[in-house]
Amino acid sequence: MENCLFCKIVSGEMNTDFVYSDDKVAAFEDINPQAPVHLLIVPRTHIEDLNHLEEGDGDLIAHIYQVAKKLAAENDIAESGYRIVSNCGDDGGQTVYHIHFHLLGGRAMQWPPG
């Protein structure tokens, strides 16, 4: 997808350091971290947002959660706890329209979220 920031990042065009990479997803540090651990897990295929998920995307989403679990353990937040967030649309606070999952941890989260 032309002019999509996360397509450019996952394709390697931006020379981003990946903390995890495979044929389905790449994960990297958020440029504006909201917690001591703030990683973004991003599929390599361009899906605009959660509204554009299709039936066949189930395996991909399950895989993303497996990657999140692995990254949580690697970053020593598995026991202390963490949050996985996918913002959708304007009211959800989405700013990059290529679906992605935030992995946040290393501090106590608030509820309800802002």
Choices 53-61, 67-75, 87-95, 106-114; region in contact with ligand 5GP by CB under 6 A? 87-95
Q: Are 19 and 68 in contact (CB under 8 A)?
A: no
User: Which residue in 38, 46, 100, 102 is the catalytic one?
Assistant: 100
Selection from ligand 5GP, Zn ion, none that 1 binds (CB < 5 to 8 A by kind) is Zn ion
Rule CB under 6 A: say whether 32 interacts with ligand 5GP: yes
Selection from ligand 5GP, Zn ion, none that 8 binds (CB < 5 to 8 A by kind) is none
The answer to whether residue 100 is catalytic is yes
Rule CB under 6 A: say whether 94 interacts with ligand 5GP: yes
Would you say how long the chain is, in residues?
114
Rounded to whole angstroms, how far apart are CA atoms 114 and 108? 14
Return residues touching Zn ion (CB under 5 A).
1, 4, 6-7, 46, 98
Return residues touching ligand 5GP (CB under 6 A).
5, 28-32, 40, 87, 93-96
